[in-house]
A and B are shown apart, each in its own frame.
Chain A
Amino acid sequence: MNATGSPVIARAPGRTDGSLGTTPPSWMQALLMSRYQFRDYLRSRRFLLMIGIVAAISAILIAVIAHYRPAGLISTGAAFFGSAWIGGVGVLIIFSAIIFGGDAIAGEFQNKTGYYLMGLPIKRWSVYAGKYLAAFGASLVTIGVYFVVLLLAGAYFVGGGAIGAGVFESFALVMLYLAAVLGTTFLFSSLFKTSMYGVIIVAIMFLFGFTIVSALVEGLVGVTPWFIITWAQSALSYPITGLPRTAGLSAAGIVVYPTYAQGIGVMLGYFVGTTLGGLALFEREEFT
């Protein structure tokens, strides 16, 4: 009993000075955060939604190919994966970014989950990185499912021998593009404290915004829109199709396609730039 006559809550055995435990390094806290956030994603309806989208795209694609047997598509591995894989994965990356990343940071403010974490001895960048890694992991799982389905479909329609190393190289490039798109998504999400705004802005930018800006830049200003992330997306197919390895020029002299190196450079630039930008915003954001 203490002075108030209440039973005292005894101190935990094994305490060192201050509290139980020794705060781990920030990078480890980021990994721990990502583990729990990833678990949260895997149990969420949004994950089921993404798997549903993957299943729907895969089912429609396979049904159409099985029914029509288009010679141009199933003649070679490059033709099959150049169309089916590249055609679908771009959409999946954008959907994943919207669904897993659109409200990732804004939601911490709106849903007040941030209050649960931010009073802990953890640096803000650990929370940001943990959430980013979890969103990347969840997106990769859905894209990975699509990739595996297409490998099986490709083996059936084209033959296992037709699946070249380029398909796997393209998958690696998709991971880089996903990292860049998610970085951009997290940057947008860091701008707002309302989940819906984050999701809507990300959706608008990736579904129409960047395309419109690219068209305006090309048409009105006559400048190659190399600084738009979607411009780099063409490079995802290069390991499979082999072309164009050099930049394609339009009649107006606009570089329509990036080179392989340019594509990778833009993706890396976006990943680094948007991640640093988003982090800087999150570091200054207040839980008012």
Chain B
Amino acid sequence: MNPSLEARDLSRNFGTFTALSHLNLKVEGTKCVGFLGPNGAGKTTTLKMFTDLIFPSAGEAFINGISVQKDRKSALSSCGALIETPEIYGSLTPREALELIGSLRGMERADVRSRTDEVLNEVKMTEWADKKVGKFSKGMKQRINIASTLLSDPDVVMLDEPSTGLDPRGMAEVRGIIRGLKGEGRLVFFSSHILSEVVDVCDEVVLIDKGKLLFYDTLDHVNARLTAGGTSVDVEFVRPVSDDDVKGRLASLPGVSGWSRLDGRRLSLVVQGGPDVRSHVLESVAALRLGLVGFHESRSALEDVYLREITSGDS
């Protein structure tokens, strides 16, 4: 079966505030999809309706074609979800907490035991398996939450800002776990407002703002869309560069369509074209022997599109 998530005309109002407005979205197949939007965009509201934690004002959410609102038990049986940062009963150990999840999902005892060891190992919590959760830090609890989500090895994995509460190492590990989940028949749908995280692990991206879908596309398309309009590149030199050098030598390089000064030693160049053109510009700048020490994209393509879409929504 092809795993899928679908929102049909999904809306949610809180009083006069519209948190989500007529969301129509179908995400299908074995892939990792990032669910992006600024704070208050409606990401968590959407995921909560997909897990029946809150109810839609209108519309329906489907997991693998089954309506969550009409048959939550069947719909959620093939889905593992981590919404916000749940708390686990403090007197339970991670092993017992996972045992609870496994038994409620109807897993065989032997499967629960073996999968518990596997998922605790995935989230690097094996040595804490038999300590009470009540004493754990927020980050440790979040690791157990992620382990709980993966325990039954569901086809659909929904994660709501899974790196919340984790230190940088933990965030990197979570990204590694999500990357590892890709393929093998799983659909991973995770919300984030950390663009680098999405670029790092996702194949496709959904962007919403103010409760409305702005776009749903592949990251490749997002990159291509942006490249057509030019890419900003930050260039850094070991010593200050004069305006004469910039105007006379840098701005006239093939592929460079504009520039601005960030400070005495740093410039922002607008490069027309894809990675090949950027590579050529890099070689040309280095050949000028102005003391080049840094050359990198100012923002990711996704970040550019994100800012453009969110900003245009504000106007």
Are A and B physically bound partners? Answer: yes
Binding stretch for chain A, among B77-85, B210-218, B238-246, B273-281: B77-85
How far does the Cβ of B178 sit from chain A's closest Cβ, in whole Å?
Answer: 9
Contacts of A17 in B (CB 8 A): 1, 78, 155
Contacts of B151 in A (CB 8 A): 20
Which residue of B55, B86, B90, B182 is within 8 Å of A2 (Cβ)? B182
B254: interface (CB < 8 Å): no
A15: interface (CB < 8 Å): yes
Beta-carbon contacts of A1-42 to B below 8 Å, as 1s and 0s?
A: 011101111111011011111111010010011001101100
Per the bound structure, the CA–CA distance linking A32 and B107 in Å amounts to 13
Which residue of A6, A14, A43, A286 is within 8 Å of B176 (Cβ)? A6
Closest to A44 in B: B91
B86 and A21 contact, CB distance less than 8 A: no
Binding stretch for chain B, among A108-116, A149-157, A216-224: A108-116
Known A18-B1, A21-B111, A113-B88; contact A120-B180, beta-carbon cutoff 8 A: no
Closest to A11 in B: B184
A2 and B84 contact, CB distance less than 8 A: no
B106 and A22 contact, CB distance less than 8 A: yes
Contacts of B176 in A (CB 8 A): 6
Binding stretch for chain A, among B94-102, B224-232, B260-268, B283-291: B94-102
Q: Is the interface of A mostly helix, strand, loop or mixed?
A: loop
Which residue of B73, B83, B148 is within 8 Å of A122 (Cβ)? B73
A15 and B153 contact, CB distance less than 8 A: yes
How far does the Cβ of B141 sit from chain A's closest Cβ, in whole Å?
Answer: 10
User: Which B102-118 residues sit within 8 Å CB-CB of chain A?
Assistant: 102-108, 111, 115, 118
Contacts of A119 in B (CB 8 A): 51, 53, 76, 81-83, 86
A36 and B55 contact, CB distance less than 8 A: no
- How many residues of B are counted as interface, with CB atoms below 8 angstroms from the partner's CB atoms? 63
A118: interface (CB < 8 Å): yes
Per the bound structure, the CA–CA distance linking A10 and B150 in Å amounts to 12
Contacts of A11 in B (CB 8 A): 153, 184-185
Per the bound structure, the CA–CA distance linking A288 and B183 in Å amounts to 32
How far does the Cβ of B143 sit from chain A's closest Cβ, in whole Å?
Answer: 14
B107 and A21 contact, CB distance less than 8 A: yes
B145: interface (CB < 8 Å): yes
Closest to A31 in B: B103
Which residue of B51, B78, B84 is within 8 Å of A19 (Cβ)? B78
B179 and A2 contact, CB distance less than 8 A: yes
Per the bound structure, the CA–CA distance linking A172 and B83 in Å amounts to 43
Contacts of A22 in B (CB 8 A): 106
A245: interface (CB < 8 Å): no
B179 and A6 contact, CB distance less than 8 A: yes
Closest to B101 in A: A120
Contacts of A118 in B (CB 8 A): 51-53
Which residue of A21, A114, A115, A116 is within 8 Å of B105 (Cβ)? A21
A10 and B105 contact, CB distance less than 8 A: no
Known A18-B155, A116-B88; contact A121-B77, beta-carbon cutoff 8 A: yes
Closest to B118 in A: A12
Known A21-B102, A29-B104, A119-B81; contact A7-B180, beta-carbon cutoff 8 A: yes
A121 and B182 contact, CB distance less than 8 A: no
Per the bound structure, the CA–CA distance linking A200 and B10 in Å amounts to 38
Closest to B90 in A: A40
Contacts of B80 in A (CB 8 A): 19
User: Which A148-189 residues sit within 8 Å CB-CB of chain B?
Assistant: none
B104 and A3 contact, CB distance less than 8 A: no
Which residue of B79, B96, B155 is within 8 Å of A36 (Cβ)? B96
Known A15-B153, A19-B155, A111-B87; contact A9-B77, beta-carbon cutoff 8 A: no
Contacts of A40 in B (CB 8 A): 89-92
A227: interface (CB < 8 Å): no
Contacts of A37 in B (CB 8 A): 89
B54 and A286 contact, CB distance less than 8 A: yes
Closest to A113 in B: B87
B72: interface (CB < 8 Å): yes
B302: interface (CB < 8 Å): no
Beta-carbon contacts of B189-206 to A below 8 Å, as 1s and 0s?
A: 000000000000100000
Contacts of B182 in A (CB 8 A): 2-4, 6, 8
Which residue of B55, B88, B106, B201 is within 8 Å of A286 (Cβ)? B55
A116 and B87 contact, CB distance less than 8 A: yes
Per the bound structure, the CA–CA distance linking A11 and B183 in Å amounts to 10
How far does the Cβ of A14 sit from chain B's closest Cβ, in whole Å?
Answer: 6
Contacts of B85 in A (CB 8 A): 112, 115
B73 and A123 contact, CB distance less than 8 A: yes
How far does the Cβ of A16 sit from chain B's closest Cβ, in whole Å?
Answer: 10
A112 and B100 contact, CB distance less than 8 A: no
Closest to A10 in B: B184
Per the bound structure, the CA–CA distance linking A114 and B52 in Å amounts to 12
Give B residues with C-beta under 8 Å from A: 1, 14, 48, 51-55, 64, 72-92, 96-97, 100-108, 111, 115, 118, 122, 145, 148, 150-155, 176-177, 179-185, 201
Instruction: Pick 11 A–B contacts, CB within 8 A, sort by A.
Output: A9-B150, A19-B155, A20-B153, A21-B107, A22-B106, A23-B105, A33-B104, A43-B91, A118-B51, A119-B86, A122-B73
Known: A8-B180, A19-B79, A120-B105. 20 other contacts (CB 8 A): A2-B179, A4-B182, A4-B201, A6-B179, A6-B182, A19-B105, A21-B102, A21-B107, A23-B74, A24-B106, A36-B89, A43-B91, A112-B87, A116-B97, A119-B83, A120-B76, A121-B72, A121-B79, A122-B73, A122-B104
Shortest 3 CB-CB contacts between residues of A and residues of B: A18-B78, A115-B86, A21-B107
